Amino acid sequence: MTGPARASAACAVALFAASFALRVPLARTWSALGVLDQHDVLFDADPVTFLQAFGDGDMRDRLWRAHPNVRNLVNPPVRLAAGLAARVRRGWTPEQARREAALLVAPAAAGATTAAVFLTLRLLGASPGAAVLGAVLEMCSFSGLLFGSIPESYPLSGAALAAAFVLLAEAARGRDRLRIVPWVLVASTAFGITTTNLALVGIPLYFAASCALGSRIRAIAATAGVLLLSAGLAVLELVAINAAYGEWLPRRKLERTDSFLAPRVVETLRSFPEAVVSTVLPDRPAVVANEIGLRRDYPIKLGFAVEGGPQGIASKLLRGSVVAGFLLLGALQLARLGTGPPVLWAALGVLAFNLVLHSVYRGPDLLLYSMHWHAALAVVIGAAAMAPRRSAAALLAGAVALNNASVLWWMLRTLRAMS
């Protein structure tokens, strides 16, 4: 490993540690407030379900449909970490040790995402300072802070998709062959976390194959082959690890009983821009009735939502203009690089795929799915730091950090008032 490569690796590790350390106290605060023991408090997220899957290996039937390997990938290392922690903290019960270890999964995934954004920008030709600034922008983004601190599938998906962009940036540097093994590992992991991730990973994979093979037809064939191989590997993992747990998949686990499927194109076109902007720079969310909380008599009867929030048109225009302006600046920086266009097209493809998907599959608040486009958005906005004058990007990072700290602090105060 060369000197610059060692320096980049060390910086990536430092960024991972900073991102992880920033989110761990927030994760423990959500836990102390009881948020992780309920459904739908934080933008319809279900941390209680995933906390059980991560810590205890308890997979509810509905999880098998969309998140087939999420328990299989996470619970074994959590159990190992919990066993080590219990030896250090003698007062912890096994259940407490597993819960504490499970709380660290999302911060670790968020740290990996931050490091991946840094490495992507470095591979694209950004200076160390510009790449760090771009990674800090990702680190401070609202979705990264929120979903990177709760046990859910979303931070894991974000990390897998960020890894796909690292592989794409590497391919864009001029490799004459496609690195099959890393792509299969990333795609099979992403598919096991959430099945629709296979298509999302396929987008940067196609552009990487185009760079490596120099032919669109060959790139399509290679992409299809890698995705099929990845899906097959994920199924093998599912069967083998389930067998180790002494479980199998009867038909009832795969039957759909609670579908979000419905054509809502106009509604999605109207709400998608606000969800994209709020991924980075939200206003204070709305406080809404928590229907599951009321029905199940949970302690917290309310929840948060971006859609229908109290923000006026001036706030929407200001925040939208800031995010759109830096997206445009980042896109221009990527477009002028020899290695940048494939990454830019892949990012646009990821956004377009999410728009189409959530026109027919969506919950009540689109911010819930933001980690599925978070990495693509972070890479493009982060590329704005590659402009000749980085002061604007530095100001944006400061504004994002202050705004999101303020929003999260307000949410925590509101939750404490509910308790």
Query: One digit per residue, pLDDT tens: the chain, 419 residues?
Result: 677 778 889 999 999 999 999 999 999 999 999 999 888 889 888 999 999 999 988 887 677 788 999 999 999 999 999 888 878 877 788 888 899 999 999 999 999 999 999 999 999 999 999 999 999 999 999 999 999 999 999 999 999 999 999 999 999 987 778 899 999 999 999 999 999 999 999 999 999 999 988 889 999 999 999 999 999 999 999 999 988 888 877 655 655 555 566 777 888 888 899 999 999 999 999 888 887 777 877 888 888 988 766 677 888 888 889 999 999 999 999 999 888 899 999 999 999 999 999 888 877 788 999 999 999 999 999 999 998 878 888 888 899 999 999 999 999 999 988 76
pLDDT at 266: 81
Helices and strands: H and E segment counts in the chain: 18, 2
User: Residues 298, 344: contact at Cβ < 8 Å?
Assistant: no
Give me the sign of the Cα torsion angle 347, 349, 351, 357. Answer: negative
242: its two tokens = 């389930």
- Cβ atoms of 371 and 146 within 8 Å: the answer is no
Position 388 scores a pLDDT of: 83
Q: Cα(224)–Cα(40) distance, rounded to whole angstroms?
A: 36
pTM: 0.93
Give how many domains the chain has, as a whole number: 1
Note the pLDDT of residue 387: 86
pLDDT of residue 252: 56
User: Measuring CA to CA, which residue among 128, 122, 201, 214 is closest to residue 158?
Assistant: 201
Residue 1 is predicted with a pLDDT of: 62
- Using CA atoms, how far residue 248 sits from 55, 245, 345, in Å, is 20, 9, 40
Token pair in block for residue 116: 């991946």
- CA dist., res. 346 & res. 324, Å (int): 18
Q: What angle do CA 69, 75, 77 make, to 5 degrees?
A: 115
Domain with 164, as residue range(s), is 3-253+260-418
Round to whole Å and give the CA distance between 177 and 170.
11
Q: Which pLDDT score is estimated for 256? A: 57
pLDDT of 260 reads 64
- Name the phi and psi angles at 346, rounded to 5: -65, -40
| pLDDT of res. 41 | 87
Q: Is 147 left (phi over 0), alpha (psi -120 to 50) or beta?
A: alpha
Q: Amino acid identity of 69?
A: N
Given this model, what pLDDT does residue 257 score? 52
Cα–Cα distance between 195 and 69 in angstroms, integer?
Answer: 9
